Amino acid sequence: MQKYSVFTLARNAVNFHKNWDRAWRSPEPKPAYDVIIIGAGGHGLATAYYLAKEHNITNVAVLEKGWLGGGNTGRNTTIVRSNYLQDESAAIYQLAHGLYEDLSQELNFNIMFSPRGLLMLCQTEHDLRVMTRNAHANRLFGIESRMITPREIKKMVPILNTSRDVRYPVLGALYQRRGGTARHDAVAWGYARMADYRGIDIIQNCEVTDIHVSRGRVTGVTTTRGRIKAAKVAIVTAGNTTRLTDMAGLRMPIESVALQALVSEPVKPVLNVVIMAHTVHGYMSQSDKGELVIGGGTDAYNNYSQRGSFPALQQTVTALVETFPIIGRLKMLRQWAGIVDMTGDRSPIISTTDIHGLFVNCGWGTGGFKSIPGSGFVFADTIANNRPHDIAAPFSLDRFVEGRLIDESAAAGVAH
Amino acid sequence: MLLIKCPVCGVEGDETEFHYGGEAHIRRPASHDPDNVSDEDQRDYLFIRRNPRGIHFERWKCARGCGKWFNAARDTLTLEFLACYDITEPAPDLKGSHAAEPRTPRRRARS
């Protein structure tokens, strides 16, 4: 593999950048693998990478029906944070956050991680109480996170409307200094390049059409490019999870809905933190190109169309215009939607199943991007050892039978 | 944007005038045999959903009209409403749907 550095950059500049190696191969599928990972998004590719790196399992195929990183990994608003309420969630998001901080070096790929600070606005008294509780929980867990006053917020975000005379006045905010953003495509590309370097086959344009189960064991998959045998199959397909688990006869506690995002025309720097406003359903950051990246709440109803509804978009924008009056006259350039898989308690599922060799990693809902490295790390361990990793164990499918829910609807139900 | 027609009062409007109520035809096990509800049955009732890519039978409420709940068959890929029917009626037999099958999974999700 060609190492990316300032020297290779300079050397290739001399040749007008004609001699760069391909970042990953496009191999033909082999007839059999040790592990098949369905879905080459961030979570799938991270799982593949950690399988190779931590467990030395390299006879692995990552199957992708479209192109890698083309699903929700390429559609989110790239926020990274770990200020969750419950210990189980804090553990996995904190693991992911920590891995993100060194990921550019580890993958030799600039993922443009920018820990610029993240504010979660409180715009009602109830918000203030919930977030104060959150701050205490975070501190007990060892996550640096604290409440700040409207005056401090105004200092950080001058474009914020801190007037008391609005429908939802800003009363405070939960501040995570180490929160921020990363470049979403680069995360997928970085993991793909390193996984490929370690010998893992990433097979794009290869849709799984059936999963074979024989006597309670998974035996392989049928794809649009033929049958492939494997003793272990991992489903990491976000909004399409139910379609895959249906093939294996598993029923899941998941509903797929659309989550939208949009970006404005590029403007001069006006916002150097990530702002999330739960009450009014909107969140915003400014990209390096100067575009304001805006996201909102999910659409209400089940949806597989990757098109969001206009009323949901309108609600997001309306709310943000009151909180940030300056953006009222900005033109919006692009709008898109991704299909997210929502669980009943808004926490993910990382689990073995009662089919031997079949694993699922799904239910990340609106918050999958921030957890990519942590999710891949614990899921790879789960697959390699046929038992849940300690951090993954609370997120098993069992919890829905036992009523052992990890309720993150306050932290995760709205905005990411 | 969805355009919906309430089968109860006949009013037509977009999705903001209606309220979504999730999957329809889910039976509450405790209503039939309160003494024999297994944890798995309760899990299925509370959390397990069909979540099809295609025809979905679901509940809607005519929130800004008559206030009544009704059922609808909608394609989750094309977002097209195929039928709206009364809350007490069984699901219509539409091509490509799975509503007629009983809610017993081939294999249950468990780890």
DSSP readout, A124-161? SHHHHHHHHHHHHHHHHHT---EEE-HHHHHHH-TTS-
- Better-predicted residue by pLDDT, A218 or B98: A218
Residue A398, judged by CB atoms within 10 A of its CB (0-12, 13-18, 19+), counts as: middle
CATH, residue A148: 3.30.9.10
Token code pair at residue A235 = 């489903």
Which of B47, B58, B77, B106 best tests the A interface by mutation, with the highest count of A CBs <10 A? B47
User: Rounded to whole angstroms, how far apart are CA atoms A183 and A310?
Assistant: 27
Instruction: Note the ipTM here.
Output: 0.90
User: Rounded to whole angstroms, how far apart are CA atoms B29 and A344?
Assistant: 18
Mean model confidence pLDDT for chain A: 94
Contact between A242 and B77 using a beta-carbon 8 Å cutoff: no
Residues A278 and A170 in one domain: yes
Asked if A9 and A114 touch (Cβ cutoff 8 Å), the reply is: no
Residues A266 and A308 in one domain: yes
Using the 3D structure, point to which of A326, A343, A360 is the last residue of a domain: A343
Which residue shows structure tokens 């070096």?
A105
Whether the pLDDT of residue A274 is over 50: the answer is yes
Would A294 be classed as within a structural domain? yes
Q: Give the model confidence (pLDDT) of A26-73 as tens digits.
A: 999 999 999 999 999 999 999 999 999 999 999 999 999 999 999 999
Contact between B48 and A304 using a beta-carbon 8 Å cutoff: no
Residues A261 and A322 in one domain: yes
| Closest chain B CA to residue A355 | B111
Task: Looking at the complex, report in whole angstroms how far the Cα of residue B12 sits from the nearest Cα belonging to chain A.
Answer: 16
Residues A275 and A386 in one domain: no
User: Rounded to whole angstroms, how far apart are CA atoms A364 and A344?
Assistant: 11
Contact between A256 and B79 using a beta-carbon 8 Å cutoff: no
User: Rounded to whole angstroms, how far apart are CA atoms A295 and A297?
Assistant: 7
Domain residues for A172? 118-180+256-343
Give the SS3 label for residue A200.
coil
Asked if B62 and B6 touch (Cβ cutoff 8 Å), the reply is: yes
User: Rounded to whole angstroms, how far apart are CA atoms A357 and A234?
Assistant: 8
Query: Cα-flanking dihedrals φ and ψ of residue A154, to 5°?
Result: -60, -35
Whether the pLDDT of residue A221 is over 90: the answer is yes
Q: What's the pLDDT score for residue A410?
A: 60
Asked if A343 and A298 touch (Cβ cutoff 8 Å), the reply is: no
Residues A325 and A339 in one domain: yes
The total domain count for chain A is 2
Instruction: Please check whether residue A352 touches B, CB under 8 A.
Output: yes
Closest among A293, A364, A234 to A116, alpha carbons compared: A293
Which residue shows structure tokens 């809902």?
A365
Residues A332 and A194 in one domain: no
Of the candidates A309, A344, A351, the beta carbon closest to that of B2 is on A309
Of the candidates B47, B78, B79, the beta carbon closest to that of A344 is on B47
Which residue shows structure tokens 């939607």?
A337
Contact between B76 and A256 using a beta-carbon 8 Å cutoff: yes
Q: What's the pLDDT score for residue A35?
A: 98
User: Rounded to whole angstroms, how far apart are CA atoms A306 and A292?
Assistant: 21
Residues A32 and A65 in one domain: yes
Of the candidates A243, A251, A304, the beta carbon closest to that of B105 is on A251
